[in-house]
Amino acid sequence: MKDRLTTAQFTGAMRRWGPPGLVTLAAMVAFAALTPAGAAKQARQPAEAVAPRQAGQPIMAIVSIKSQQVTFYDSEGWILRAPVSTGTTGRETPAGVFAIVEKDKDHRSTMYDDAWMPNMQRITWNGIALHGGPLPGYAASHGCVRMPFGFAENLFDKTYIGMRVIISPHDSVPTEISHPSLFVPKPEAIAAAPSRADKLSAEAEEATRAADEAKKAASVAAKEASSLPALLRKLEQQKARADAELAFADKTLANAKTDQARAKAEELKQKTTTKAADAATQLDAAKAAAQPKRDAVAATKDAAKAAAARKADAVKAATDAKLAGEPVSVYISRSTQKLYVRRNTHKPAPDGGGEVFDTSIEVPVTIRNPEQPLGTHIFTAMAKTDTGLRWSVVTIENGDEARNALDRITIPQDVWDRIGPTALPRSSIIISDEPLSAETNYRTEFVAVLSDQPQGGFITRKPTAPAMIASDDGWDNGGNGFGFFFQQRDPYVQPANPRRQRGQYQYYQSTQPMQRNWW
């Protein structure tokens, strides 16, 4: 990544960020002066710094567990740096790939005695977050990433839901990269995206109305035909009784021995013959009348199915068109050999907290030499260029070199055609040996943790509830474009809740299969 400011001098950022930061700094200085050990630790603590230029919108944050430092980057390089305090031994902050999923200016912990966590920016729903807090100069939290109070306050309004947060076990920095597999957007596709979204949205609404009408017609036809079986059974029973009475009259007539008996038998046969004929006529007429109703039921049912299919296609196309105006995030896992795509819908989560992320693409991907590690690499589109996008890569786990990792992956062309032409800055491609964490759900971007790094910060936290995924059949819900359904955890998803036994972290997770949302 192009960073023309790496030699910038550190500045007194606390002076600009207000009294809370000054109070915290004063307390830390006093503590360091009282204890030699504290002084030694304090001396190693990174200083806050602000790049001496106009900062743009932050695109990513990188937390270094090794250096106990967080650095925020915009499209041109680093813009803010500060010391942090990550999880202490046994409560380690998990290293991996995250994104901001919720923000709360004045958060109180529901887990740690109502502890104050000001300017909280959540990155997992089981409790890991960035927030203001005391910094003793070393890892000391229960798993969160504490930042200086003033720094956290100054930062709060600059970030946004979905912003990438990378937690690295070592010092990692973005590096510029180019590769044929990275998105190359088409300006004409981006320019046409708004009008295309409007057109497809109108078509989806029309298809939805047609589907609703077809469904209603099928329901009416089914209701009209619902009484036919009972009516036909009744007429069949009447005909059977009349036929039995006629047979009895025939038998009586055949057995008559006298003229008087024969006369009575003939009279009985005449009555039963008429009755049987009437019953047969009524049954035949009812069957003839029932057939058009049965045909109507079948026809309206087929029409409703066809209309529902057209609606689903129209809604999916409209959903894609609406999301084309959002940065796209791709995750490729060597563990599952799948490719996943997510984009923020900016729809509030129906159960409160955070926003809903679209999850309508999950497809197999081909990886050459899949038995060999890829590493974990985060490729990010930093800005537009004359020819497309300028990309950077951050590597947080060594496996293969970043370019080689891209070379080894064959991505379905239809997926690239679907998401590549309208790719925007802040789009990303993550390649990892890891499966997605079980913390990845309907209101997160991708969450993946490095399985070979300690994750003690997850120990005391309960598993997240089964994921409620945004479907692309959402015009049933007031035309907002996104409906919801519950689904179980993917058995291939990386568990997020280790339990420590004999010095090792043992994992548990749901064993129920996930209802996949294939597109």
The residues that are catalytic are 131, 144
Q: Which amino acid is at 86?
A: T
DSSP of 238-276, one letter per residue? HHHHHHHHHHHHHHHHHH--SHHHHHHHHHHHHHHHHHH
DSSP class of residue 87 equals B
HSE-CB at 367 with a 13 A cutoff on CA atoms is 24
**Tokens at residue 317, please?**
């196309």
223's torsion region: left (phi>0), alpha (psi -120 to 50) or beta? alpha
**What whole-number distance in Å separates Cα of residue 279 and Cα of residue 285?**
10
**What whole-number distance in Å separates Cα of residue 163 and Cα of residue 156?**
12
Neighbours of 116 (CB within 10 A): 13
**Tokens at residue 339, please?**
């490719």
Of residues 83, 77, 3, the one with CA closest to residue 46: 83
DSSP collapsed to 3 states, 125-181: CCCCEEEECCCCCCCCECCCEEECHHHHHHHHCCCCCCCEEEEECCCCCCEEECCCC
Q: Is 341 exposed, middle or buried (CB count within 10 Å of its CB: 0-12, 13-18, 19+)?
A: buried
**What whole-number distance in Å separates Cα of residue 514 and Cα of residue 66?**
37
Q: Are 469 and 490 spatial neighbours (Cβ–Cβ below 8 Å)?
A: no
Cα maximum dimension of the chain: 135
**Tokens at residue 209, please?**
């109305």
Sign (positive or negative) of CA dihedral 382, 387, 388, 392? negative
DSSP class of residue 294 equals H
**Tokens at residue 293, please?**
């109703």
Residue carrying structure tokens 């000001």: 118
Q: What CA–CA distances, in Å, run from 400 to 168, 205, 374?
A: 17, 47, 5
DSSP of 347-415, one letter per residue? EEPTTSSSEEEEEEEEEE-EESSTTS---EEEEEEEEE-SSSEEEEEEEEE-SS-HHHHHHTEE--HHH
Helix axes 19-34, 36-44, angle to 10 degrees: 130
DSSP class of residue 395 equals E
Q: Are 481 and 318 spatial neighbours (Cβ–Cβ below 8 Å)?
A: yes
Q: Report phi then psi at 106, rounded to 5.
A: -130, 65
Q: Which amino acid is at 330?
A: V
